[in-house]
Amino acid sequence: MQYNKVKSKSLTHIESNTFYYDCVFFLDTFVTIKNCTFDNCSFRTAVGFYDAPQCHFINCNFSQSVFFSGMPDEKYTFITHLKTAHSWEMPKNIAQFSSLTHINMSGFTSLLLPVELCQLSSLQYLNLSRSKIRTLPPQIGQLSSLRHLELDHTEITELPPEIGQLSSLQRLDLNKTQITVLPPQIQNLSSLQHLDLSGTKITELLPEVEKLSALKILDLSYTALSELPHQIGALHSLEELHLVESKVASLPPTIGQLSSLERLNLSYSPLNVLPKEIGKLNSLHELSLNGINISELPMEIGNLSSLEELSLLRLKNLRLPKTIGKLSSLKKLHLDETELVYLPPQIGQLSSLERLNLSQSTVQQLPRQIGQLKKLWELKLWQSSLQSLPKEIGQLRSLKVLNIDETPITLLPKEIGQLSSLHDLWASETQIASLPTEIGELTNLKSLQLNNTNLAILPCEIGQLKNLQELELSDTKLTTLPPEMGKLANLERLLLCETNIEELPQEIGQLSKLKALSLEGTNVTKLPATIGYLTSLRELCLCGTPMTSLPKEITWLTLESLYIDDSVQLSDEIQQDLEKKKTYVSS
């Protein structure tokens, strides 16, 4: 038997022996079919099936009623997933769909949940998010198989006591609801692993929360909750605790009893001190303290032997303790926009550190011990107060990304050439006036950005950067380019905007992989004939130059975009060539 497949179609009829995927149906009232599968399909009209042998409905959306005429109840077991998102009505015979395991009612416009739905003993997933439902019927407790209940972004103000009868419930999402308090029966949810109360009106967490022995994720972010009960320490299975922008001003000492906790996010809460017990969180992998009102971390922070990521963004007058160096597992340290008194030398003891971000911080110097970070591959210092780079920077043999944009730095140390793994060097809007000759030793460099600097000359060693793909030198003091530029065999993008360059070297034609060249605002009066050898060039910008004509060799190119001033006179040959190749010309 041939089995047809139909995908992403809008249809008014159904053929038997067909697999339908992502289709939309506008059907007559009654349909007779057999041997069909409907996956992720939407039925926009009320529909009744006379017979449906060997048919399956998976994650389908019935916007109006659906029924099977003249069929025994067991036929409804063909449907395991039902989607009525953004509709106004559930099928009136919903209780007959005895094999339903998943119902998606997201955006459901009715104010009441049909009581008949609560008879679905096999139901495991119920999504009511963004619906108009305001209350749950007491019968909700009959859903003995329910594992996931999504109520986020609804108008629900309270949960019925019967919610505690959902012994199989693993996830309860109440994000952005009007809930103000949880019923005590919540403690009976012995299987609950994920409780999301973020963005609710809740002001108190009941002590009964300690009975949620299976709880792994608790999100209390963006709530008016002002304190945690000391019973929080009884949640020995808890892996994630989120309190972002809550009103919690202090943590109970029992926080240290959360032996399984892996992620703790306290960002933008009114905390002004961390309890020393935080050092007992031996399983903690991520700690986020962004924007809180602390200036010191407890010495015990160094006991977090499993910590891999520490985020300390937007803190004021922060002093890092010497014990910071004991974080032997730390891979990411974020100090962006932080008023940092200084970076302690113990930073060099972070043997696992891979990423260090000091962007927009007040740090003025790096300790020489920075060179001990053998695994560091990303160092971001843009818009920081850093005055210079220590020579030990050259010891960072794993470093791939170095960003010192918009810093007061005036020069690069010659040791920069020892960064054998460096891919990206960004030093735009600095006071750099020259490059060390050792720059040519960066054989793995792919991107070099020196825009808006005082750079007046490029060393000939620039030609040794065999893997360089992007070179940005706009708004610099450059007047010439060395002929060695032609050796940049992999260069794809060259920006020379607003420089004092008057001509391009003949060797420019050797850049066979160059795709984009911008000379906007330069003093270049003509292009060399070798421009025609740039066979990969697709974008050429010559606006704001004193150029009045283009060489005939421009016709050798396959440009997609050409930007020129009205003063540039194109010959008939060039004009016809550009039209033939459908080059976009802006003048």
The mean pLDDT of 448-465, rounded to a whole number, is 98
Q: Band of the pLDDT at 33, cuts 50, 70, 90?
A: confident
CA distance 521 to 519: 6
Give the tokens for residue 189. Answer: 């949810």
- Token pair, residue 70, equals 């003249």
Average pLDDT, integer, range 452-465: 97
558 versus 100: the higher-pLDDT residue is 558
Q: What is the pLDDT, as a whole number, of residue 207?
A: 87
The residues spanned by each domain of the chain are 308-430
Q: Residue 320: what pLDDT?
A: 96
What rounded mean pLDDT belongs to the chain? 93
Half-sphere exposure of 175 (CA within 13 A, CB side): 16
Average pLDDT over residues 375-394: 98
pLDDT attached to residue 384: 97
> Averaged over 280-299, what is the pLDDT?
97
Q: What average pLDDT does the segment 76-84 reach?
A: 61
Distances (CA, A) of 236 to 172, 186, 216, 261, 263: 19, 18, 9, 8, 14
**What count of residues does the chain have?**
587
Q: Which of 150, 135, 137 lies closest to 105, judged by CA?
A: 150
pLDDT score, position 48? 79
pLDDT at 556 over 70: yes
Q: What is the pLDDT of residue 163?
A: 97
Q: Which three-class secondary structure state does DSSP give residue 311? A: strand
Q: Give the pLDDT score at 73.
A: 52
What pLDDT shows up at residue 78?
Answer: 54
Residue in 423, 431, 352 with CA at minimum distance from that of residue 389:
431
- At 583, the pLDDT band (50, 70, 90 cuts) reads very high
Residue 208 confidence (pLDDT) above 80: yes
- Whether the predicted pLDDT of 391 surpasses 60: yes
Task: With a cut of 80, say whether residue 71 has pLDDT above it.
Answer: no
Average pLDDT over every residue of 213-224: 97
Superfamily of 308-430 according to CATH: Ribonuclease Inhibitor (3.80.10.10)
Q: How confident is the model at residue 84 (pLDDT cuts 50, 70, 90)?
A: low
Backbone angles phi, psi at 163, to 5 degrees: -60, -30
21, containing H or E segment: strand 18-21
Tell me the pLDDT band of 59, cut-offs 50, 70 and 90: confident
Q: Confidence band (pLDDT; 50, 70, 90) for 515?
A: very high
Q: To 5 degrees, how large is the angle CA 193–CA 196–CA 198?
A: 155
Query: Quick check: 31 pLDDT over 90?
Result: no
Q: pLDDT tens for residues 492-508?
A: 999 999 999 999 999 99
SS3 581: coil
Residue 437 CA to residue 577 CA, distance in Å, equals 43
Strands (DSSP E) contained in 263-340 are 263-265, 286-288, 309-311, 332-334
The strand pairing partners of 62, in sequence order, are 43
Q: If you search the block for the tokens 């597992």, which residue do you land on?
A: 329
Q: How would residue 62 be classed by pLDDT, with cut points 50, 70 and 90?
A: confident
Identify which of 481, 480, 473, 369 has the alpha carbon closest to the alpha carbon of residue 425. Answer: 473
User: Is the pLDDT assigned to residue 206 strictly greater than 90?
Assistant: no
110-164: pLDDT as tens digits: 778 888 899 999 999 999 999 888 999 999 999 999 999 999 999 999 999 999 9
491, 512 Cβ separation under 8 angstroms: no
Please compute the mean of the pLDDT values over residues 418-422 and round it to a whole number.
Answer: 98
Is the pTM higher than 0.85? The answer reads: yes
pLDDT bucket at 68, cuts 50 / 70 / 90? low
Radius of gyration of the chain (CA): 33
Flag whether pLDDT at 489 surpasses 90.
yes
DSSP 571: P
What does the pLDDT average to over 331-348?
96
DSSP letters spanning 55-111: -EEESEEESS-EEETT--GGGGGGB-EEE-TT-S---TTGGG-TT--EEE-TT---S
Q: Which helix (H) or strand (E) holds 493?
A: strand 493-495
